[in-house]
Structure 1
Amino acid sequence: MAQVRDGFQSRFGFVLAAAGAAVGLGNIWGFPTQAANHGGGAFLLVYFIVIFLLALPALYTELYLGHKAQANPVKALGDAWQNTNKKIGAAAGYIGLAGAVVMLSFYSIVAGWMLSYAIEPITSFFGFDAASDFLHSDSVLRNFVFTPLMLILTASIILKGVKSGIETWSRRLMPLLLVLLIGLIVYIASLDGASEGFAAYLIPDFSQVLDPNLIIAAMGQAFFSLSLGVGCMMIYGSYLQPDANLPKLTASVALLDTSVAFLAGLLIVPAIYVAQHNGVEVFNGGKLIGEGQLIFAILPELFNTMGEIGLLVGLLFFVLMSIASVTSTISTTEIPVAFLVENHNVNRTKATWAVSLVVLICASAIILNFDWLFGLVIMLFTQYQLPLMGLFYFITVGWMWQRGNKLHEATTGIHYWFAQYIRFVCPILMTLVFANVAFG
């Protein structure tokens, strides 16, 4: 017997949940690094333009596919391709499912690091030096402790469903994330060296605005920061009420996600310059030291220079990062869970634990072969699957989906021109993003 489909109960709950899916380590970790390495204010200016030109249509396209189908990505894409070749659409949905598992496999490992770093200031405060060393270590044991913890935390939310789980916890976690983010910005702004960071971040060097590398980097970051291409937004769109105002909701999600990315830059970039003021090496050859070192070496070293207050700042920062991780893992986990529930009538509880077990097995394989497999998995996922799936969604909505596609049926007005933009302009922009990230 088919199971009754859950859904979001309010516009506000959906916006927080969808923004939570988009707001992840890419916003708080990746965006500030891209800004610091690509002209600061110039990158910020181009990023805002690109959000409007590429990311908003991509977000709308993915939400639209799920909303019209009221189903998971496999069924939604299969239905959209039914007049051409339903198997192609369904196959793309299965690729998305596999991508979701792959993403969860490496993302849960990194999220586990955030959780361990969030706990470490507490152990330092109480003088548990051995525990602190363990929590800061790169050991296999630490990964096997905290990766399952993050998966269990995610599963506990997914088990409750959309309304009682995803929507309820998004309402709790997203406001907390924003409060922590703003509080940390206010504190970092009071430190020596922060003003230089604010200037670098907010004042654009207009000579760099037309730099092709900067433009392509901004396009890639805008696309990835909205968590597009893996199916998160498609599954969330499917949980909206049939009469939902999709354009307005799309704009709200993009605005909140972009605001968080902007605020993350207001925190991280000034913090980098504060660290440099305190004698921490943050730039190498004019470029910011890699993202992993930034989060797990430079910033903790900065917190150490602050004395006892640094323990509190470090605790709040990594709690912030942990929240950003959880809001992303729950949306990605929901993709394969919804597939098992809807396409195979598996009980949600069994589906959640089955998906979590598969992800744990894949994550364990990465942990045990970390040196070569971790980077390879991330590269294949971010540089190939995400942009290619985004391109596929544009082609699906713009060219292949005939029956029930209101955009395709539009012949006049703004809907017509928006449909033409998705058909012709967006695939070109998306191809540029793919060519840049895949081939450098």
Structure 2
Amino acid sequence: MSSTDSNHFSSRIGFIMAAAGSAVGVGNIWGFPTQAATHGGGAFLLVYLVLIVILGYPMLIAELMIGRHGQTNPADAMAKIGNTPISKKIGKLIGFTSIITATLICTFYSILSGWFVSFAAAPVAGAFGFSQASAWLTDFSLSRNLIFTTIFILMVIWVIRQGVQEGIEKWSKRLMPLLLLILVLGVVYILTLPGAMQGLKVLLVPDFSRIWEADVLIGALGQTFFSLTIGTAAMMVYGAYLGKKENIAKLTAYVTLTDSSVALLAALMIIPAMYVAQHNGVQIFNESGGLLNSDTLVFTVLPALFATLDGSLQYILAFVFFVLMTIAGLTSAISIVEVPTSYLMEKTSMERNKAAGFIGALIIFLSLIVVLNFDTLFGFMITITTERAQPLVALGIAVYLGWVWKRNNLLQEIQEQQDVDSSRLFWRIWPIYVRYICPLLITLIIFQLFNG
């Protein structure tokens, strides 16, 4: 990674916003409330918050530490830790697999985020009386999907082409505060509506008897894992853009806190909104008490809720909500697309504009193949990346850092941080924790996912 200023974050707040933006994605605002609603509300929330601390936080530190140590792309950063030709090759393979995983994640993620863009445009068309256009924007037709998938990817590439400071950092600083503001206003508004308090009780009052249920534990483990983008190498790339003296434990704490806050705010808005919708006559549960349309919750229950509101309010709320979803999709997609872009720039000496354009064209091509074979490939891409490759890559990273990175070299990396004493309890425990506990927890996820 070139050491020029433009290839590093210019400020801590810039890094925190970018890294939090990477972690805060559709998984938080779409996935987390859906998981919480399906797996016992308060019990799920409690387990999730514990797992963020015991798995998410230490693994995020690991990825950032490897990236900053390497100051290069994930494949070469992993190889740098190895101390034998074989261990270097294994490290490069793990890093390269994470780059391929990130690229494939972009395919379904761009389609999903394209839906958010079109659903944000629909109420604007509806408010101006273009009912036919509004209907087209919210149906799942081939033409709509092809157009808005492409639009979303072009938005991402436009940001990435501007570089680390002028693109990723600047837009993260703009979009993340806007996302938080919309979420807070959404929570305040939804909680004033009839029926909301029932949803709030479901979310905040845990049924302790459900905490040890396998579905709740595994759902929370998976959500912890995927919401922080662990195993996609995005954090390794952002770690490479960090200065050597930055305190990684402190920065990671801010990122983890922001990510968890957004997930909680999203749940505080969406779960009460479900009960408001139910109060207004929208069916959200089936006869056995299970959630209807859990995978498409935000595309079915929430628009149905908006439709029950009076006059222009339904259009305003629908527009604001789907702008929020678009921002969440955009901040995550920027970090994921930066992974293959940074790799291509280093390996070919291609300048950023061309590398971003090439990767953008590749992702558009792959995404449109998925759109054209939606029933076969959409679910397959989600499974192969988030349920197979991501956990395996994360396991590789934990084992590699814990068992291959020589202790003295790791201690030296820790000591280079400003105001950090490697003899403190946290830094004495962390390497051992990543060596033993993280692989154990990740193996549990993998076992459940592969046998689910």
| TM-score bin (small chain) | over 0.9
Look up the equivalent residue of 1:145 and give its one-letter code.
Answer: I
Partner of 1:244: 246
Partner of 1:374: 378
Where 1:404 maps in the other structure, the secondary structure is helix
Q: Distance in 2 between matches of 1:286 and 1:141?
A: 36
Q: Aligned match of 1:303 in 295, 301, 306?
A: 306
Cα deviation per residue 1:7-58 (whole Å; 9 max; x = unaligned)?
1011111001000001011000010111111111111111111111111111
Look up the equivalent residue of 1:292 and give its one-letter code.
Answer: D
Where 1:306 maps in the other structure, the secondary structure is coil
Q: Aligned match of 1:289 in 288, 292, 297?
A: 292
Partner of 1:100: 102
Q: Distance in 1 between matches of 2:364 and 2:3?
A: 27
TM-aligned CA distance change 1:385 to 1:37, over 3 Å = same
Where 2:28 maps in the other structure, the secondary structure is helix
Partner of 2:347: 343
Shift of 1:164: 0.6
Deviates more, 1:73-82 or 1:300-309: 73-82
Where 1:230 maps in the other structure, the secondary structure is coil
Look up the equivalent residue of 2:435 and give its one-letter code.
Answer: R
Q: Is the CA contact 1:407–1:419 (under 8 Å) kept in the aligned structure 2?
A: no
Partner of 1:334: 338
Q: Distance in 2 between matches of 1:415 and 1:356?
A: 40
Q: Is the CA contact 2:94–2:397 (under 8 Å) kept in the aligned structure 1?
A: no
Partner of 1:314: 318
Shift of 1:407: 8.0
Shift of 1:404: 2.8
Partner of 1:405: 410
Q: Distance in 2 between matches of 1:3 and 1:259?
A: 33
Partner of 2:54: 53
Q: Aligned match of 1:143 in 142, 145, 154?
A: 145
Where 1:388 maps in the other structure, the secondary structure is helix
Structure 2: state its 5+ residue gaps.
415-421
Q: Is the CA contact 2:87–2:404 (under 8 Å) kept in the aligned structure 1?
A: no
Q: Distance in 2 between matches of 1:423 and 1:74?
A: 20
Deviates more, 1:340-349 or 1:283-292: 283-292
Shift of 1:408: 9.8
Q: Distance in 2 between matches of 1:289 and 1:53?
A: 32
Q: Distance in 1 between matches of 2:451 and 2:355?
A: 38
Cα deviation per residue 1:167-194 (whole Å; 9 max; x = unaligned)?
0000000000011111111111111100
Deviates more, 1:314-323 or 1:398-407: 398-407
Partner of 1:266: 268
Q: Is the CA contact 1:397–1:408 (under 8 Å) kept in the aligned structure 2?
A: no
Q: Distance in 1 between matches of 2:153 and 2:241?
A: 23
TM-aligned CA distance change 1:243 to 1:411, over 3 Å = closer
Where 1:45 maps in the other structure, the secondary structure is helix
Cα deviation per residue 1:71-130 (whole Å; 9 max; x = unaligned)?
110111111224342121112222111111111111111110000000000000010011
Where 2:77 maps in the other structure, the secondary structure is helix
TM-aligned CA distance change 1:407 to 1:106, over 3 Å = farther
Look up the equivalent residue of 1:305 and give its one-letter code.
Answer: T
Look up the equivalent residue of 1:113 and give its one-letter code.
Answer: W
Partner of 1:67: 68
Look up the equivalent residue of 2:395 and give its one-letter code.
Answer: L
The count of residues paired between Structure 1 and Structure 2 equals 440
Look up the equivalent residue of 1:138 and give its one-letter code.
Answer: F
Partner of 2:125: 123
TM-aligned CA distance change 1:141 to 1:345, over 3 Å = same
Where 1:287 maps in the other structure, the secondary structure is coil
Q: Distance in 1 between matches of 2:68 and 2:191?
A: 42
Structure 1: state its 5+ residue gaps.
none
Identity of aligned residues (%): 43
Partner of 1:91: 93
Partner of 1:35: 36
Cα deviation per residue 1:358-385 (whole Å; 9 max; x = unaligned)?
1011001101100111001111111111
Cα deviation per residue 1:316-363 (whole Å; 9 max; x = unaligned)?
000000000000110011111111112221111110000001101100
Q: Distance in 1 between matches of 2:225 and 2:82?
A: 24
Shift of 1:293: 2.6
Partner of 2:391: 387
Matching of residue 219 in structure 1 with residue 221 in structure 2: yes
Partner of 2:160: 158
Q: Is the CA contact 1:158–1:166 (under 8 Å) kept in the aligned structure 2?
A: yes
Look up the equivalent residue of 1:350 and give its one-letter code.
Answer: K
Look up the equivalent residue of 2:298 and give its one-letter code.
Answer: I
Matching of residue 423 in structure 1 with residue 431 in structure 2: no
Q: Distance in 2 between matches of 1:407 and 1:417?
A: 16
Q: Is the CA contact 2:64–2:236 (under 8 Å) kept in the aligned structure 1?
A: yes
Q: Distance in 2 between matches of 1:203 and 1:195?
A: 12
Shift of 1:219: 1.2
Deviates more, 1:209-218 or 1:348-357: 209-218
Q: Distance in 2 between matches of 1:21 and 1:276?
A: 33
Q: Is the CA contact 1:3–1:342 (under 8 Å) kept in the aligned structure 2?
A: no
Normalising by the residue count of structure 2, what TM-score does the alignment of the two structures yield?
0.94
Shift of 1:224: 0.8
Look up the equivalent residue of 1:199 and give its one-letter code.
Answer: K
Cα deviation per residue 1:384-436 (whole Å; 9 max; x = unaligned)?
11111111110111001227322899788432222111111110011111112
TM-aligned CA distance change 1:181 to 1:411, over 3 Å = closer
Deviates more, 1:286-295 or 1:173-182: 286-295
Normalising by the residue count of structure 1, what TM-score does the alignment of the two structures yield?
0.97
Q: Distance in 1 between matches of 2:435 and 2:3?
A: 36
Look up the equivalent residue of 1:107 and give its one-letter code.
Answer: Y
Q: Distance in 1 between matches of 2:279 and 2:355?
A: 51
Shift of 1:210: 2.1
Q: Distance in 1 between matches of 2:290 and 2:55?
A: 27
Partner of 2:187: 185
